[in-house]
Amino acid sequence: MVISITIWFVFGLLISYLIVIGIITFGWFQLASNERPSYLKEVRLSVVIAVRNEEENISRLISQILNQDYPQPLFDIIIIDDHSTDNTASIIESYMVNDDHKISLLSATGNGKKNALREGIRRSTSDLIVTTDGDCEVGNRWLSGIVSYYCTTGKKVICGPVVYSNHKSIFQKFVTVDFASLVASGAGSLGVGLPLMGNGANIAFEKQVYDDFKDKSNKYASGDDVFLIHHSAKKYGYKSVGFIKQEEVIVKTPPPVGFADFMKQRIRWASKAKGYYLPWPIIVSLTIFIFNLALFTLLVGSIFFNWLLPIYFLIILTKFLIDIPLVFRFLTFSGKSKLKPWLFIMEFVYPVYIVISAISSFVFSFSWKDRRDLQ
């Protein structure tokens, strides 16, 4: 009797997971690979970057932004230094000597990335805001690709692809595939007109949308990108948010160095779910958490009841087959095809860390660039 109930319960959760991932996967295939139009409308934009202790990366990023094929007179760079203790500020100032480079450096008055970005965005006088992070890398057609998509679609919030680069260790290969599944899920959801999430390392939005964003989730030190997406969807309609399925606008960012950094990041991201108020993000979050909680329980329970272990492996294998179309397609799109075999390994680890990070997000505060107690 117990075995029968357990099997049917897990089977029901598996069907729910299949439906959710099926919808997201369908959305990924619905996204068009956007081609650049022959005419590009001139749009003034600001690239806003919050940094803290990025002396090793900021020079590369500034150089890449200045090397864009988008006309320099049409964009400026606003960098907000969140109390760096290294040479980040002086490196930025060295680029400001050239009058042709419209670069502004602000010293954050508050603490944390979210507050820093808010200060920078308020300073901008542009129509369109584009944000990224100080340790990211961008191609030279990044801005023109975003503007082209903005002009041809009229989206008020635009999410772009983000991938981990320089994944050298086994651990980093694992987290790269895991991160790819998250970005693909956000993209696929937008493909069916159901905004879920985005990444502040590659997001653009109309300044007006940000200005009238009341930031109902201001109590969360993280999540400004996700909550802005949800705000736009609620006020302007779900179709006001889009995803650029274009290789040339991919932003690269380094993966977490070790397990501790990885868990801090995931706890920070998981904490955003407490502020969700749109139906789709709530449904997705609950479905994935409950399903993985059941898998985690099966794994732990198999220590005491051997008959649970075959069920666990069977469900994991089925989940792997469900995840393949979405994750494999995104890995191909982002040039990470060699990492596809790591998805199978990830399936066994995922239930453990997702449950731990989700529960931890309700208990612990998190840090950003060694700034603690931000939540």
pLDDT at 167: 80
Greater model confidence, 95 or 217: 95
pTM of the model: 0.91
Residues 183 and 162: their CA atoms lie apart, in Å, by 7
Question: Strand pairing of 241-243 and 137-138?
Answer: unpaired
Q: Order of strands across the sheet with 251-253?
A: 137-138, 251-253, 162-164
pLDDT tens-digit series, residues 196-207: 999 999 999 999
Q: Is residue 35 scored above 70 in pLDDT?
A: no
For the chain, the structural domain boundaries read 34-167+194-255
pLDDT at 282: 94
Q: Do the Cβ atoms of 158 and 150 come closer than 8 Å? A: yes
pLDDT at 318: 96
Residues 288 and 294: their CA atoms lie apart, in Å, by 10
Residues 185 and 25: their CA atoms lie apart, in Å, by 8
pLDDT tens-digit series, residues 284-298: 999 999 999 999 999
Residues 12 and 18: their CA atoms lie apart, in Å, by 10
Q: Do the Cβ atoms of 369 and 82 come closer than 8 Å? A: yes
Residues 287 and 81: their CA atoms lie apart, in Å, by 39
pLDDT tens-digit series, residues 70-107: 999 999 999 999 989 999 999 999 999 877 779 999 99
Question: What's the chain look like in SS3?
Answer: CHHHHHHHHHHHHHHHHHHHHHHHHHHHHHCCCCCCCCCCCCCCEEEEEEECCCCCCHHHHHHHHHCCCCCHHHEEEEEEECCCCCCHHHHHHHHCCCCCCCEEEEECCCCCHHHHHHHHHHHCCCCEEEEEECCCEECCCHHHHHHHHHHHHCCCEEECCEEECCCCCHHHHHHHHHHHHHHHHHHHHHHCCCCCCCCHHHEEEEHHHHHCCCCCCCCCCCCHHHHHHHHHHHHHCHHHEEECCCHHHCEEECCCCCHHHHHHHHHHHHHHHHHCCCHHHHHHHHHHHHHHHHHHHHHHHCCCCCCHHHHHHHHHHHHHHHHHHHHHHHHHHCCCHHHCCHHHHHHHHHHHHHHHHHHHCCCCCCCECCECCCC
Amino acid at 241: V
The residue written with tokens 């990492």 in the block is: 339
pLDDT at 145: 94
Q: Is residue 239 scored above 90 in pLDDT?
A: yes
* The CATH classification of domain 34-167+194-255, taken from the options 3.90.550.10, 2.60.40.740, 3.90.1150.10, 2.60.40.420: 3.90.550.10
263 pLDDT band, cuts 50/70/90, is: confident
Q: Do the Cβ atoms of 88 and 116 come closer than 8 Å? A: no
Greater model confidence, 265 or 14: 14
pLDDT tens-digit series, residues 103-129: 999 999 888 888 899 999 999 999 999
The mean predicted confidence, pLDDT, of the chain is: 89
Q: Do the Cβ atoms of 64 and 97 come closer than 8 Å? A: no
